[in-house]
Amino acid sequence: MSETGELAAAIEEVAALLGRAESVLFITGAGVSADSGLPTYRGVGGLYNDEDAGPEEGLPIEVLLSGPFFQRDPATTWKYIRQIEEACRGAQPNPAHAVMAALEGRVDRLWVMTQNVDGLHTAAGSQNVIELHGNIHRLRCTACDYRTSVRDYSALAPLPRCPDCRAVVRPDVVLFEEMLPEAAVAAMLRERARGFELVFTVGTSSPFPYVTDPVIQARRRGGASVEINPDRTRVSDLVTHKLSAGAADAMTRLAAALRR
């Protein structure tokens, strides 16, 4: 069978699984938002591996965007966080986000567990979203309880300060070497303990165990798992179905197959 024929057949199989499943987990990464025009972290045009546009400070981006570095030099970390925010600015959800949101109305129990900080799953209408790495639109004070939300960073000072206590304000995102947010971890563990009949990873290079574990868990239980990614990743050989396609394309085709 040709590659396109194989993909078409796999889409039909996965749509049939989706049509029957009572519980579905979508684990998503930067590739889902690539179809909204956002850069990914890794791969072609990725923020972290574009050698020509390397950080001026001469340090890897993983250091500049780390919790310990932020504590030493918050202004520099803010500079790089702003670049990420600028790359997200004005982005709209794409059909991949929209189809996942619409599926919530069809599947008894559906969760989206995302590593993305762009807020596009909730913007698309998904309710059951676990934002494992936080959300770039939320800001919080590093010293007091002050919290706020912003549409973008255009009106923020280079080093934003808390209006209540003047301490440095930071985005409510997980920096390198920081713990995941407690509430998100609790939600993830709670839902994973309930198990999922069908697990998808979509647009992620799957660098973390919390992305690969649900796929391994599904495999152990004899359940189905699907990877949607034009490239191969560390879960490609673990999933039962590999859809080598972009997220918006694959999700649109899955939705069409489900309607048939």
List of residues contacting ligand OAD (CB under 6 A): 29-31, 34-35, 40-43, 46, 115, 133, 174, 176, 203-205, 207, 228-231, 233, 246-247
Q: Are strands 147-149 and 134-141 parallel, antiparallel or unpaired?
A: antiparallel
Residue whose CB is less far from ligand OAD, 31 or 119: 31
Report the C-alpha gap between 25 and 27 in whole angstroms. Answer: 6
Report the C-alpha gap between 3 and 76 in whole angstroms. Answer: 46
Rounded to a whole number of angstroms, the distance between the first and last alpha carbons of the chain is: 23
Residue whose CB is less far from ligand OAD, 26 or 41: 41
Residue 21 structure tokens = 């499943």
Among 97, 121, 133, 137, the active-site one is 133
Q: Quick one: 226 exposed, middle or buried, by C-beta within 10 A (0-12, 13-18, 19+)?
A: buried
CB 211 within 8 A of CB 35: no
Residue whose CB is less far from ligand OAD, 30 or 239: 30
Backbone φ, ψ for residue 194 (5° rounding): -75, -20
Verify whether residue 241 is a known catalytic residue: no
Residue whose CB is less far from ligand OAD, 83 or 195: 83
We find the least distance from the C-beta atom of residue 43 to ligand OAD, in angstroms, to be: 5
Residue 54 structure tokens = 């390397």
Helices (runs of H) and strands (runs of E) counted in the chain? 10, 9
* Closest alpha carbon to 75 in 166, 150, 157: 157
We find the least distance from the C-beta atom of residue 256 to ligand OAD, in angstroms, to be: 17
Measured in whole angstroms, the distance separating CA 188 from the mean position of its chain's CA atoms is 14
Report the C-alpha gap between 83 and 174 in whole angstroms. Answer: 16
Residue whose CB is less far from ligand OAD, 43 or 125: 43
As annotated, the active-site residues are: 133
